[in-house]
Structure 1
Amino acid sequence: MSRDLLRSFSSIFGTKLGLLLVGILSTPIIVRAIGSEGYGNYAHLISIFSLLMVFTKSGIFNGIRKYIVEDRSVDDWHNHVFSFYFRTSVLISGVLAIILLSLSQIGQFENIFSGDYQYYFVLLAVYLFLGQFYSIGRGALMGFGREHHSEPIQMLNSISYAGVGLLLLYFGFGVDGLLIGHIVATGIAGFLSLWLVRNELDFTQLIKPLSDSVPQKQFLTFNFNSVLLAFLTVSMYNVDLLLLRPLAGSSETGIYKAALTVAEFLWLIPMAIQYTLVHSTSEMWYKDQQEQISSIASTATRLNLSLLVIMGIGLIFLADTFIPLYYGSEFTPAVGALFLLLPGVLGLALSRPIFAIGQGKGQLKYLVLTTGASAVLNLILNIILIPKHGMYGAAVATSIGYGSMFLFHVVTARFIGFNPIADLRIVRIGVAGILAAGMIFGLKYFLPPLPALLLVPPIGFVVYVLASVQMGVVDTPEIEKLQRHMPNKLDKVFTLLKNIRNGEHPTLHH
């Protein structure tokens, strides 16, 4: 990766890590405050919201990131791109918010949902509309390469939600308090994002007609395909929850949601890579730098897999200790669902950077077809397995659907014009994983539960890194490139890693 790519990734990854920490700290409090049934209802509402956000956010957010970075020979290109997507987003989110408000008022609503859902839908409508301003502002900041601004705002959004939501829970609110927390947080984040981007853009363009040279048809086509692609993807993330609640009840849905949340820890690094690559590779595609794109894709896939392996091993060995301690003994059945979910979550995590590079090119037809195939497979399996096997059926169905994404998108990448598995080094990664797994198993066996949770992850990670370097999972130039972006105080550590990689006697001295 270039210096700019690594800087962007570092900003995004740091924020993802912070978001994970906020979630780790707030989730057990939320779960204990509203119970598994309330948590199931909250998960159900957020699934509905996520599906609606596909129409309001996905095409807008991806489109503004992709096109605003392109240096086209059109006067005020950046302003025209921003103006087009701002108007489109306000129109779409406004219409959907009105539809939500209307649905909450129809007479048959309470026959479909519980009475509280009528109020929840009003809150969802407000959240949906305000959230669009944040999406526009964040997309513009990222398109201009200002992840060092966009990502701290995302962190602030998460902290604000947790703070307001937990405060309202303390004062007796329930699921509605969490939704109000989202509304307040996204309002603050939206205002700050647009404020920070004001010097890059001329907001008066919002009330002026667009230039005839602006390719509005191209924008709309990309927007439509992005929405379709995102709908298929988000349906995969939520169809299990949407089907599980009416078929198995809120309590089992809450337990299954806990398993999903833990499994999705694996998405931390892949999501950071994905968000980095869309607008970064868009400019490369525009300049026809195909060889550089293939090199980035294969390196990203290899490093992504190597990190996912150690994270997956850690979850496998520590889940039976972590889940009851973190969520409470009521959620112990989530351990079995987690084990069933992990293979598919790994596959989907691997597909994320591949997906992003294809998105950066703008030709989404192949991505829509392959993602659609996975989504249909996922839906059919969930419909078949949930009635018979409940959350375990949902876990198996979802795992197969998720896993198919990686296989399908590797094939799709070749059609688009790059090879993401040219330098995978899967045998070397496997050997390093086996060595680390042995160490992790031994430590877990001999240590009590709480010390194991504290000591096994860092020790296992260090062992895995050393084994990966020794096995040649990473190259010396890649180590040196990372070193250049790290504090000088870590130079001795990187010298050790380079010595191990080059087969020299390990030493911490220069």
Structure 2
Amino acid sequence: MPSGVLNNASWLLLEKGLLLGSGFLFTIVLTRYWSVSELGDYQYLLALVALLVPFSNLGLNSLVSRELVTRAEHTDVIMGTAVVLRLLGALLGGVIFSLLSIWLVAPTLQPLFFVLLFAQLSHAFGVFDYYFEAKVQSRVSAILRTCVGLSFMAVKLSCVVQGADLYTVLLLTVVEWVVLSLMWLLVYQLYHKRLKEMSWCSAQARRYLSRCGWLILSSIAAIVYLKIDQVMLGSLHSSESVAFYSLASRLSEVWYLVPGIVVASFYPSLIKAKEQNEDYQGSLQRLSDSLCWAAITIAILMSVIAPVLVPLLFGDTYLPVVAILQIHIWAGVFIFMRALFSKWLLIEDLPKYSLVTHGSGAIINLLLNSLLIPEHGALGAAWATLASYAVASYLGLFIFPKTRCMGVLMTYSLLAPVCRFRLRKRG
């Protein structure tokens, strides 16, 4: 791997680690200073706003990066058109969700929600991140996001300790979004020195829109996976259940960074093995086995220590998180193997199956949540998540002939100890 690429990845990994760690610390502090209901309202509003990400992204991220690499001489048009399209998408999403808020958001929280909707327009300027990605200068983006994120995290932590409520923290979040967008503009000008030259081009817009349809749908499916359970808990059950579930999911999802890093590290060697026919299937099987049983080991350990870990981190008030975590953590088994499957789809040039499998999982997630949440609350949402991940990342692979081989490979991974025992017995 070229040193520039490795350096790029290292900065992004450092950024994710710092922001993830500070975010987790902030959540722990919130559990100590806020009521369960207030924490639930906070997580619910953020989850609801997160559903707008596909509108503000419009699936343009990878397209912008590719265009900047292949048509660098048109950078001003590429960037200007992308920013306008993302602003229009964010505005459309804001209008739709402002209408939905009549049913989804409590009247007392609606003014704050409208402020969040307006502020999310600033997410459109995140497109500048992909300029630096195309230039293999993600260090710039990582430093910018980390500095802004950690600075505002420190301010919010201080405010919460001094008694700040939900409104204060979310308004600080709004300011953070706006400051980050202004910093994107400033840094882009410093590096490219042509901010004023950005321009709209109808032909470029059509070029984008003709290619991003599948990507938008895939983004919607992915965000449904991540956030719809908390939104449905808040609308169908209670704020308290959102709080309990959000804490359990944080303790589960903190591990999801591991398979991404591992698979990204092996990705070049897998491509080489495929091209040169050097034990490609064997490499896939060994990596799948390792990912599968690493996830199973984590799930067992977290299930065992949950009764001690949860009250230690969050206090006895949050003991219901234990049972939710002991279910939710097992979804990681399928997420870990899914990381390899996602790269396999790229190697085999089968990208449409990413949307098909994600979409099927999202639909199942919605259906199961609507059936289980009214009666079982956060426990029902945890079971729905586990089932939908199992379908999207494992069982669904057996439906399609072209992905069936990966379903079989994952089955061998799940049964690896049994298979090895039988081989040794035969030996």
1:179 equivalenced with 2:166 (yes/no): no
Please list the CA deviations of residues 216-254 of structure 1 after superposition, one character each: whole Å capped at 9, or x if unmatched: 545213322222111112112222222222333111221
* Structure 1, unaligned runs of 5 or more: 432-510
Please list the CA deviations of residues 28-47 of structure 1 after superposition, one character each: whole Å capped at 9, or x if unmatched: 11122221111111111111
1:156 to 1:395, Cα distance in 2 relative to 1, 3 A? same
CA distance in 2: counterparts of 1:227 and 1:266, whole angstroms: 26
Which residue does the alignment assign to 2:423? none
CA distance in 2: counterparts of 1:65 and 1:357, whole angstroms: 22
1:407 equivalenced with 2:394 (yes/no): yes
CA distance in 2: counterparts of 1:360 and 1:200, whole angstroms: 34
CA distance in 2: counterparts of 1:98 and 1:379, whole angstroms: 23
Which residue does the alignment assign to 1:494? none
What is the CA distance between 1:148 and its match in structure 2?
A: 1.8
Read off the aligned partner of 2:32 and give its amino acid letter. R
What is the CA distance between 1:154 and its match in structure 2?
A: 2.6
Which residue does the alignment assign to 1:446? none
Read off the aligned partner of 2:51 and give its amino acid letter. L
Which residue does the alignment assign to 1:228? 217
Q: Is the 8 A contact 1:100 1:121 kept in 2?
A: no
1:191 equivalenced with 2:182 (yes/no): yes
What is the CA distance between 1:128 and its match in structure 2?
A: 0.8
Which residue does the alignment assign to 1:151? 142
1:34 equivalenced with 2:34 (yes/no): yes
CA distance in 1: counterparts of 2:117 and 2:25, whole angstroms: 28
Task: Select which of 107, 110, 113 maps to 1:118.
Answer: 110
Please list the CA deviations of residues 83-120 of structure 1 after superposition, one character each: whole Å capped at 9, or x if unmatched: 3311211221233335556777xxxx3x7632322222
CA distance in 1: counterparts of 2:48 and 2:217, whole angstroms: 16
Which residue does the alignment assign to 1:269? 258
CA distance in 2: counterparts of 1:424 and 1:161, whole angstroms: 45
SS at match of 1:145: coil
Task: Select which of 129, 148, 169 maps to 1:138.
Answer: 129
CA distance in 1: counterparts of 2:245 and 2:91, whole angstroms: 33
Which residue does the alignment assign to 2:84? 87
Aligned runs of 1:8-407 on 2, under 5 Å? 8-57=8-57, 59-69=59-69, 71=70, 74=71, 76-100=73-97, 109=102, 113-133=105-125, 135-170=126-161, 172-198=163-189, 199-200=191-192, 202-207=194-199, 209=201, 216-271=205-260, 291=275, 298=284, 304-305=291-292, 308-352=295-339, 354-355=341-342, 358=345, 364-407=351-394
Question: More displaced, 171-180 or 95-104?
Answer: 95-104
Read off the aligned partner of 1:176 and give its amino acid letter. Y
What is the CA distance between 1:190 and its match in structure 2?
A: 2.6
Read off the aligned partner of 2:198 and give its amino acid letter. L
CA distance in 1: counterparts of 2:7 and 2:293, whole angstroms: 20
CA distance in 2: counterparts of 1:384 and 1:421, whole angstroms: 31
SS at match of 1:244: helix
CA distance in 2: counterparts of 1:219 and 1:300, whole angstroms: 36
Read off the aligned partner of 2:23 and give its amino acid letter. G
What is the CA distance between 1:400 and its match in structure 2?
A: 1.0
Read off the aligned partner of 2:166 and give its amino acid letter. V
Q: Is the 8 A contact 1:165 1:180 kept in 2?
A: no
Q: Is the 8 A contact 1:94 1:129 kept in 2?
A: yes
Q: Is the 8 A contact 2:397 2:407 kept in 1?
A: yes
TM-score, normalised via structure 2 length = 0.81
* Structure 2, unaligned runs of 5 or more: 419-427
Q: Is the 8 A contact 2:395 2:407 kept in 1?
A: no
SS at match of 1:207: coil
Greater relative contact order (Cα 8 A, min sep 6): structure 1 or 2?
2
CA distance in 1: counterparts of 2:206 and 2:231, whole angstroms: 34
1:336 to 1:423, Cα distance in 2 relative to 1, 3 A? closer
Please list the CA deviations of residues 412-460 of structure 1 after superposition, one character each: whole Å capped at 9, or x if unmatched: 99849x97997999489869xxxxxxxxxxxxxxxxxxxxxxxxxxxxx
CA distance in 1: counterparts of 2:273 and 2:78, whole angstroms: 24
Please list the CA deviations of residues 6-35 of structure 1 after superposition, one character each: whole Å capped at 9, or x if unmatched: 444322222222122202321111122221
CA distance in 1: counterparts of 2:106 and 2:9, whole angstroms: 43
Please list the CA deviations of residues 438-494 of structure 1 after superposition, one character each: whole Å capped at 9, or x if unmatched: xxxxxxxxxxxxxxxxxxxxxxxxxxxxxxxxxxxxxxxxxxxxxxxxxxxxxxxxx
CA distance in 1: counterparts of 2:347 and 2:172, whole angstroms: 33
1:43 to 1:397, Cα distance in 2 relative to 1, 3 A? same
1:430 to 1:32, Cα distance in 2 relative to 1, 3 A? farther
CA distance in 2: counterparts of 1:357 and 1:44, whole angstroms: 35
What is the CA distance between 1:77 and its match in structure 2?
A: 4.0
Please list the CA deviations of residues 392-417 of structure 1 after superposition, one character each: whole Å capped at 9, or x if unmatched: 2211111111122222686699849x
CA distance in 2: counterparts of 1:316 and 1:244, whole angstroms: 23
CA distance in 1: counterparts of 2:90 and 2:97, whole angstroms: 10
Q: How many residues align?
A: 412
SS at match of 1:150: helix
Read off the aligned partner of 2:78 and give its amino acid letter. V
1:361 to 1:129, Cα distance in 2 relative to 1, 3 A? farther
CA distance in 2: counterparts of 1:64 and 1:412, whole angstroms: 33
Task: State the Cα RMSD in Å.
Answer: 4.0
CA distance in 2: counterparts of 1:37 and 1:293, whole angstroms: 57
